[in-house]
Structure 1
Amino acid sequence: MMSKCFSFTASRDWFYRYSFAKAGLRAHSANLGDGTIMHCWVPRIIKSSKPSLLLLHGFGANAMWQYGQHLHIFTSRFNVYVPDLLFFGESYTSRPERTESFQAQCVMRLMEAHGVHRMNLVGISYGGFVGYSMAAQFQEKIEKVVLCCAGVCLEEKDMDNGLFAVPNLDEAASILLPQTAEKLRELMRFSFVKPAIGIPSFFLTDFIDVMCTDYVKEKRELIQAILHGRNLSVLPKITQPTLIIWGEKDQIFPVELGHRLKRHVGESSQLVIVKNAGHAVNLEKAKEFAKHLKSFLIDSAASPSPSPGSLTDFIHDKNEG
C-alpha cells in the first residue's frame, strides 16, 4: 500500500534537485539541433575567475544521484557543469549514433553552447568512456582528467577470455539495466563490496519504475557499442594529467583494467586503488573518493605556464589573495 502512495525514489530525486539548486546550480536543456536535446545542471552565476569542471555520470539513475554527495566540494572552487548523458535523465537524441565518441561530441557542443571552451573533467564508469573520448578528441580544451572505474582499455576479446564476472553482453545488459527487483539486487552485489541487505522489493521496484524504464533499448545499444570491435591497439593516448581511481574489488570492470589504463596513458597518469571498494567507489567510499579528487584537482602543484582561465590561474589568485 505504501508503494502506491509514496515514491521514495521520486522523493530522493526531489531532494537532489533541491540540493543542486541550493548549491547554486540551475537546470537547463539545450537544443543542439539534429534532434538532440541535452539537459545539464549549470552555474546560476558564472564567475570568470573560476575554472570549469565537468562531471560525467555512469549508468544508473541520473547525474544527480552519482555526484550529489560531492557537489559541495567543488561549487566554491569551480563553475560546475553536470549533464545528463544522452538517454539518461532528460537528455535524448533521434540520431542513430551510440558510440562514446558521439556522446563526447554532444557534450562538447553543450559546453560550447554555454560558453565553456576549457575545462577539467571527472568521468565515472561509462562517463569515463565519454570523458576519455573528449580528452582525446579535444586535447586543447581539456586540462585535467579523472577517470573512475572506467574500463576504457577493455577489448572485445576480454569477454570471451573470461575477464568479466558475466558470461556475455546480454547478461551484462540485463544487470546494468535492471528491470526486476532481483536484477537490481544483483547489480548492487556487483557494484558494492558490502551491498545493503534486506531492502524490501517494493523499494527496488519503485526505483526501477522511476529510473530504469526509459530508453532501455537505446541504453542496451550504448552498452553494445562500448564493446563492439574494441581493440587497445587503436585506442588513442591522452596526454593531459590524468588521475585513475579504481575500486580494489570492482566486479564490473576488474582492477586489471585500471592497471592496463595506467600503462596505456603512461607517465602523465597516476593510479589510485581504493581498498575494500567495488565499482561504485564514489558512493561506497565517498570520503576517500572526494579526498583524491580534491588533491588532484585543487591541491596539486600548478604547471609553470598556465593558460588564461585555467585551474592554475585560479589557485594562484587564491594564494595571492
Structure 2
Amino acid sequence: MTKIKKSFRSFCSTLSLSVLVTLTSSVISHQSMAAQIEKPQSPFQQYLIHQRTDAGLVSRTLQVGDVTWRYSEGGMKNKPTILLIHGLSGTRDNWNRVAKFLTPSYHIIIPDLPTNGETKTPENFDVSIPNVTSQLRMLVEALNIDEKLNIAGHSLGGSIATVYAAQYPFDTQSLFLLNSAGIYKGANTPYSKNPSRLKNLIVTKPGDLAEVSKQLMQNPPDMPFPLKHAQEKLLISKSEQSLKAIDQVVMLSRLYTPESFARLTKSIEAPTLILWGKQDRIFNVEVAKELYSLLKRPETPIILNNVGHMPILEAEEQVAQYYLPFLAKTQTLKNPLADKLIPLN
C-alpha cells in the first residue's frame, strides 16, 4: 500500500507541477518548534498581536531548509488540523478574524508564505506556485500534520491549496476555496484578463491603501487612522516583493490555459467547499460555478452578497458559519482512493 501511495503521489506531482499560477524553495531540516518573543515595531503590529491573542493564536518559528517559517498556531494538537493559506501580498494575519471561530474545535496552522510577512527566504528564492507548494509540504511534514489535513486557501492561496490537494490526494481530508485564483474560461474582470494590472493593487506609496481597499473589498473593516497609516507603511516596505510575485503570475498566465487548470482541478479527490464574495472585482463571481463544475466532490457554492474579494476580512462570521458545518461533516468521510488501493504481494 505504501508503494502504491508513493507511486500515485509521484504521478500527481508530475501533473501538478506542469500546471498553474504563482508563489514559493528548500530542503528539510528538523528543528524544534519554538515560540518567539514578539517585538512590536509599530502600532499596527501591536494591533495584529492583540488580534492573534484574541483568536487563541501564538507565533512560532521553524527552520526548514533555507526557509525560516513564521506562523501562527492555535487550538489543541489532538484535534483535526486546518492549514489556512493567505493570498498575494497578504500575511497570516489576514486569517485572524476567521481563526477566532476555529481554534475552539480545531488545531490551526497559519503560515506567512515565503517572501510574505515575517517568513525569511534566500534572496534568489523561487516564488512560483509549484515551488511554494513544495515548500509548504515540507513545513507540513516537519510539523507532523500531513495526514488528514484540512486546507483552506484565499485568492492566490486558493491556487496553492488547489495544487496541494491535487498533488497530495491521500493526505487531504477537505478543501475550502475562497475567491480562489485560477485560470478560468469565464473570468471577465480587467485583473483576470490582464494579470499585469494586479500591480495596481500593490501599495507602493502613501495614499494607495484607501484606493486598493476599495478595489479589494465592498465594505472594508473600520480601523483608526493611526493603524491605517502604520499598515500602509508596512505594505509599502513589502511592495517590491509583491511586485516580483505578480511578475510570476503574468509569466505563468501566458504559459498555461483554462484547459490545463481544469485538468489539475479535476484530479482533486477531497470534498470541497467554495465560497465567493458576490461583488468581487478581482475574480468575478460567475467563475465559482465554473470551479464547481470541475471538482469531483463539491458542495453547492456559497455566494455572500455585499462582499468583495476579501470575505475573510469583510464577513468572517459568515465564513465561519458555513465552514464549520462543512468541516464537521467531512471529518468522518473516507478518502475514496483508499478503496482503490490493492495490497502488494
What's the TM-score, normalizing by structure 2? 0.74
Residues 24-103 of structure 1: pairs in structure 2 closer than 5 A: 24-33=56-65, 35-43=66-74, 47-48=77-78, 50-64=79-93, 66-94=94-122, 95-103=124-132
Aligned to 1:191: 216
**Distance apart, 1:131 and its partner CA:** 0.8
- Is 2:315 aligned against 1:285? yes
Aligned to 1:206: 230
Residues 149 and 306 (structure 1 numbering): CA distance in 2 closer, same or farther, change over 3 Å? closer
**Distance apart, 1:306 and its partner CA:** 7.4
Q: Find the partner of 1:250 among 280, 299, 306.
A: 280
Identity of aligned residues (%): 20
Aligned to 1:105: 134
**Distance apart, 1:205 and its partner CA:** 4.7
Q: What amino acid is the match of 2:212?
A: L
Q: What amino acid is the match of 1:170?
A: S
Residues 13 and 276 (structure 1 numbering): CA distance in 2 closer, same or farther, change over 3 Å? same
**Distance apart, 1:149 and its partner CA:** 0.2
Residues 126-141 of structure 1: pairs in structure 2 closer than 5 A: 126-141=156-171
**Aligned residues of 1:151 and 1:257 also touching (Cα < 8 A):** no
**Distance apart, 1:231 and its partner CA:** 1.2
Residues 216 and 282 (structure 1 numbering): CA distance in 2 closer, same or farther, change over 3 Å? closer
Task: Give 5+ residue unaligned stretches, structure 1.
Answer: 1-7, 308-321
- Give the Cα separation in 2 of the matches to 1:84 and 1:113: 16
Aligned to 2:289: 259
**Distance apart, 1:221 and its partner CA:** 3.3
Per-residue CA distance 1:233-259 (angstroms, 9 max, x = gap): 222121210000001110011112211
Three-state SS of the structure 2 residue aligned to 1:29 is: strand
Per-residue CA distance 1:155-182 (angstroms, 9 max, x = gap): 6x96xxx54358743332131x111344
- Tell me the C-alpha RMSD between the 2 structures: 3.0
Aligned to 2:9: none
Aligned to 2:4: none
Bigger mean CA deviation after superposition, 114-123 or 69-78: 69-78
Three-state SS of the structure 2 residue aligned to 1:121 is: strand
Residues 234 and 71 (structure 1 numbering): CA distance in 2 closer, same or farther, change over 3 Å? same
Three-state SS of the structure 1 residue aligned to 2:313 is: helix
Per-residue CA distance 1:105-131 (angstroms, 9 max, x = gap): 111111111111221011111111111
- Give the Cα separation in 2 of the matches to 1:52 and 1:198: 31
Task: Give 5+ residue unaligned stretches, structure 2.
Answer: 1-39, 337-345
- Give the Cα separation in 1 of the matches to 2:61 and 2:326: 30
**Aligned residues of 1:87 and 1:218 also touching (Cα < 8 A):** no
Aligned to 2:341: none
Residues 289 and 197 (structure 1 numbering): CA distance in 2 closer, same or farther, change over 3 Å? closer
Aligned to 1:224: 250
